[in-house]
């Protein structure tokens, strides 16, 4: 029951992609359990040339989680005036114009953002991606995982870091107790008695060049084909598949055929919205620059950073992070890493585990609750 004679605070979560729901799930969960809040999830399209957004996919995802939701084209924005609006993507170009940040800010009681993505990516262009977008500059609150993440806003955001709060990252609440996460039995069955190695390939093999997919992909697929004790758990960036078609490398039928071919060779192609299944089921990871490069640290498992020497590489946080990882820019180093995974040889384990607290100082599953308390203070 809502308290009598007192209107609840209102929270509007702008959902765009199934893959981004984990960013805000724990905030939604905390608000849904608190009678002082009324929470609504509004589904927007994710408008991007390299992403095939489907209304049905979003609906099925949220229905499966039991999350009540409504679509942007049936939502009355004016009636939500004064609410807190929580964004899951910083990019206005991915949203319908009426949901661009400046339009929302004019009617919202407060605005907030939970960062996603390329926190480790280098290059001035990535500073613009992460710290120069309208929401990064103008949000009432941005919730980050640690002091080093806040310092990146202080260095690179034109408005500084006064609006950035170190609450722990709500996205990571779901990783507290990952060893108890109920992995999809279908994934376990696909892996069988093999050791699974997660491969996270980025899609940027035509511009920023964070990806090594075009450089090392064929060699990686071949390496696993000759190792029956290892299962390749292939979970690329969600924009990679459409990127292949946009560049004319494969058409849509070709992408489907490619996935079938991989599965026939024993590769596990993972397209589940929730990447915790892949994190929990794998024994190690190969990764380009990307959010997984940082997030996977909390598993304590071995990581091989795949370096594109012609690309933008990593930023200050990324340089610190990869000092705890193995690194490869050619297949010889990849094969050496797979040898170690196969044998169980992991000399860097204790150093990685000791680094977790530094990168994730509040990994206690309560970041969403802390973020919600702060949002409440903005709209009293």
Q: Are residues 144 and 205 in the same domain?
A: no
Q: Are residues 15 and 116 in the same domain?
A: yes
> Is the predicted pLDDT of residue 3 greater than 50, yes or no?
no
- Using one digit for the tens of pLDDT, what is the confidence trace for 342-357? 999 999 999 999 999 9
Residue 326 lies in a domain: yes
Q: Are residues 195 and 304 in the same domain?
A: yes
Residue 4 lies in a domain: no
- Structurally, the chain folds into a number of domains equal to 2
Residues sharing a CB contact under 8 Å with residue 328, sequence separation 6 or more, in sequence order? 216, 286, 304, 305, 306, 307, 334, 337
- Using one digit for the tens of pLDDT, what is the confidence trace for 231-248? 999 999 888 888 888 888
Residue 187 lies in a domain: yes
Write down the H helix ranges in the chain.
21-32, 55-65, 101-107, 124-131, 134-138, 147-156, 185-191, 213-225, 240-246, 252-264, 276-281, 291-295, 316-322, 331-343, 349-359, 367-378
Partners of 85 in the β-ladder: 12, 111
Q: Percent of the chain, pLDDT > 70?
A: 98
CA distance 211 to 203: 6
> Is the predicted pLDDT of residue 118 greater than 70, yes or no?
no
- Using one digit for the tens of pLDDT, what is the confidence trace for 169-225? 999 999 988 989 999 999 999 999 999 999 999 888 777 788 898 999 999 999 999
Q: Are residues 194 and 339 in the same domain?
A: yes
Q: Are residues 371 and 339 in the same domain?
A: no
- Using one digit for the tens of pLDDT, what is the confidence trace for 32-84? 999 999 999 999 999 998 888 999 999 999 999 999 999 999 999 999 999 99
Give the pLDDT of residue 82. Answer: 96
- Using one digit for the tens of pLDDT, what is the confidence trace for 298-308? 999 999 999 99
Domain that holds residue 43: 9-175+363-378
- Using one digit for the tens of pLDDT, what is the confidence trace for 264-295? 999 999 999 999 999 999 999 999 998 999 99
More confident position, 116 or 49: 49
Residue 160 contacts residue 374 (beta carbons within 8 Å): no
Q: Which residue has tokens 């995802």? A: 61
| CATH number reported for the structural domain that contains residue 159 in this entry | 3.40.50.2000
Residue 3 lies in a domain: no
* Among the ranges given (63-77, 106-120, 143-157, 362-376), the one the predictor scored with the smallest mean pLDDT: 106-120
Q: Are residues 232 and 119 in the same domain?
A: no
Binned at pLDDT 50, 70 and 90, residue 2 comes out as very low
Q: Are residues 45 and 118 in the same domain?
A: yes
Residue 94 lies in a domain: yes
Residue 8 contacts residue 2 (beta carbons within 8 Å): yes
| SS3 call for 111 | strand
Residue 291: what are its φ and ψ, rounded to 5°? -65, -35
| CATH number reported for the structural domain that contains residue 309 in this entry | 3.40.50.12580
Long-range Cβ contact pairs of 63-67 (< 8 A, separation 24 or more): 65/21, 67/28, 67/41
> Is the predicted pLDDT of residue 29 greater than 50, yes or no?
yes
CA distance 19 to 57: 11
Binned at pLDDT 50, 70 and 90, residue 1 comes out as very low
Q: Are residues 58 and 20 in the same domain?
A: yes
Q: Are residues 229 and 262 in the same domain?
A: yes
Q: Are residues 34 and 112 in the same domain?
A: yes
Q: Are residues 110 and 46 in the same domain?
A: yes
Partners of 48 in the β-ladder: none
Q: Are residues 197 and 323 in the same domain?
A: yes
Residue 70 lies in a domain: yes
Residue 151 lies in a domain: yes
Residue 1 lies in a domain: no
């Amino acid at each position: 029951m809502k308290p009598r004679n007192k209107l609840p605070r209102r929270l509007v979560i702008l959902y765009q992609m199934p893959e981004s729901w984990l960013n805000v799930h724990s905030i939604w969960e905390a608000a849904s359990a608190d009678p002082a809040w009324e929470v609504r999830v509004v589904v927007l399209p994710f408008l991007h040339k390299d992403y095939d957004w489907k209304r049905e996919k979003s609906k099925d995802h949220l229905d499966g989680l039991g999350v009540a939701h409504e679509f942007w084209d049936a939502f009355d924005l004016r009636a939500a005036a004064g609410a807190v609006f929580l964004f899951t993507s910083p990019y206005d170009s991915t949203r319908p114009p009426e949901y661009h940040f400046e339009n929302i800010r004019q009617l919202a009681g407060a605005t907030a953002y939970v960062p996603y993505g390329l926190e480790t990516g280098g290059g001035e262009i990535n500073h613009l991606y992460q710290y120069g977008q309208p929401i990064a500059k103008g949000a009432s609150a941005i919730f980050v995982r640690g002091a080093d993440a806040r310092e990146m806003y202080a260095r690179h955001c034109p408005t500084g870091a006064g609006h950035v709060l170190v609450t722990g990252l709500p996205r990571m609440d779901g990783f507290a107790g990952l060893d108890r996460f109920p992995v999809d039995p279908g994934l376990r069955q696909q892996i069988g008695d093999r050791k699974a190695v997660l491969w996270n390939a980025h899609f940027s093999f035509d511009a920023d060049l964070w990806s090594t997919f075009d450089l090392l992909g064929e060699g990686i697929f071949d390496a696993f084909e000759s190792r029956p004790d290892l299962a390749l758990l292939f979970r690329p960036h969600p924009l990679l598949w459409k990127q292949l078609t946009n560049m004319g490398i494969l058409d849509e039928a070709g992408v489907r055929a490619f996935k079938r071919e991989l599965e026939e060779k024993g590769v596990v192609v993972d397209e589940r919205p929730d990447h915790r299944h892949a994190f929990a089921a794998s024994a190690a990871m190969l990764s380009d620059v990307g959010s997984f490069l940082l997030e996977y640290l909390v598993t304590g498992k071995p990581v091989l950073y795949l370096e594109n020497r012609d690309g933008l590489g990593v930023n200050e946080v990324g340089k610190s992070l990869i000092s705890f990882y193995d690194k490869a820019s050619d297949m010889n180093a990849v094969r050496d890493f797979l040898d170690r995974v196969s044998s169980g040889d992991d000399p860097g384990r204790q150093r990685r585990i000791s680094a977790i607290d530094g990168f994730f100082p509040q990994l206690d599953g309560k970041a969403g609750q802390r973020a919600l308390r702060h949002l409440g203070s903005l709209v009293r």
